Chains A and B, each alone.
Chain A
């Protein structure tokens, strides 16, 4: 248990659905990340929030919409996804603006788009 919790663990959705992924941490961290990991591909950084402000958006399609209401919670809102969006979505958290800080991952949400 890393202290970073993601829900749901598994999600199957149709291309016309709208769903949200949730990430929660109670480690006192102030930076949170969304990563995408497709089969046989490296981890891709999608979004970074530092002090609840988005500081990175790696050319992610607009069908992915992040939300960070406070430093403990991070959401990824999904709508009109494509089958190629099927992947493991990982949330991580760390301290921002401070050297010597570890980052911890949640267990991930395995997303399948049908």
Chain B
């Protein structure tokens, strides 16, 4: 069974801090990795994707990928209360199925 694992949280950080969200995956053949944000009662919204090892930065968000360790992370700098949501890690596996982790709930305290 191909899996994507995330800590369910909640991860609580103060406003202005860096939030670090982590994800591991089991299928070594996976090529594409995504971070989605989901507010309660809403559909997931794509915020970052990464395909190559290393870091990818987009505004306050940085995605990090390490294929050897089968690990992908998301850093949110200068966290805001509006960043409070569930963050879903998703992996396009070797058979092109998009598999999601269970999500990490982030709480940013004002």
Size bin of chain B's contact surface: 20 to 34
Report Cα–Cα, A101/B46, bound state, in Å: 12
Number of interface residues of A (CB under 8 A): 29
Max chain A Cβ within 10 angstroms of own Cβ: one of B36, B96, B103: B96
Asked if A45 meets B97 with Cβ closer than 8 Å, knowing A90-B43, A90-B44, the reply is yes
- Of the candidate stretches B9-17, B76-84, B87-95, the one touching chain A is B87-95
Report Cα–Cα, A96/B94, bound state, in Å: 11
Contact A100 B96 (CB under 8 A): no
Contact A42 B103 (CB under 8 A): yes
Max chain B Cβ within 10 angstroms of own Cβ: one of A2, A50, A55, A92: A92
Binding site for A on B (CB under 8 A): 31-32, 34, 36, 41-46, 49, 51, 88, 90, 92, 95-103
